Amino acid sequence: MRLMTDPDDIDLSFAPRRARDVAAVELERRAVLYRSGEMLQLDELATLLWNCFDGQTRLEALVDDLVCVYGTDRTAVEADVVSFARNLGHEGLLEGVQAAQAG
């Protein structure tokens, strides 16, 4: 049996991959995601991250890039990126991550 990751265990060493059953489209650089009757809209930065969730790239590498490009405080970026990945995990949008139970 394949082990599922608890969303709250996601940390900077995790390499998220977009779940295969998520439908997505980009409109004005913002992604709209759809899975199991739920639709979620991402902002531009979140869309950028979502597109990098290829199952190979660790969150810490994405944080490196964001800090380099935007010159923002690393601690805050780390917290935001991990929080974003955990939220997507809870929503069932990441491969191998256990979604929160409905209801």
Partner 1 sequence: MIQTTVADGDDPRFVALGHHFTLRCTHAGLRRYLLTLLAPFASSRPAPTHYRLDIDPGGTSSVWFGDACVVRTGDAAHAVAMFLWHLNQETIRVTTDRLLLHAGVVARDGRAVLLPAGMEAGKTTLVTTLVRAGAQYLSDELAALDPVTLEVAAYPKALSLDAGSWELFPDLEPDVDPAVLPLLPHQWQVPPDAVRAGSVRESATPTLIVLPRYRPSVRTALRRLEPVDALRELAGCTFGFREAPQRSLDVLGRLAAAVPAYRLSVSDLSEATDLVFDALARGVGTCA
Nearest to partner 1 of 29, 74 (CB atom):
29
Q: Could you tell me the two tokens for 83?
A: 């929080």
| Torsion 38-44-45-47 (CA) sign | positive
Pairing of strands 23-27, 30-35: antiparallel
Nearest to partner 1 of 23, 68 (CB atom):
23
Pairing of strands 38-41, 30-35: antiparallel
Q: Which stretch binds partner 1 (CB under 8 A): 9-17, 19-27, 57-65, 90-98?
A: 19-27
- Which stretch of DSSP H or E encloses residue 63? helix 59-70
Mark 25-54 with x for binding to partner 1 (rule: CB under 8 A) and - for no binding. Answer: xxxx-x-x-xx-x-x-x-------------
Judged by CB under 8 A, the number of residues near partner 1 is 13
Interface residues with partner 1 (CB under 8 A) are 23-28, 30, 32, 34-35, 37, 39, 41
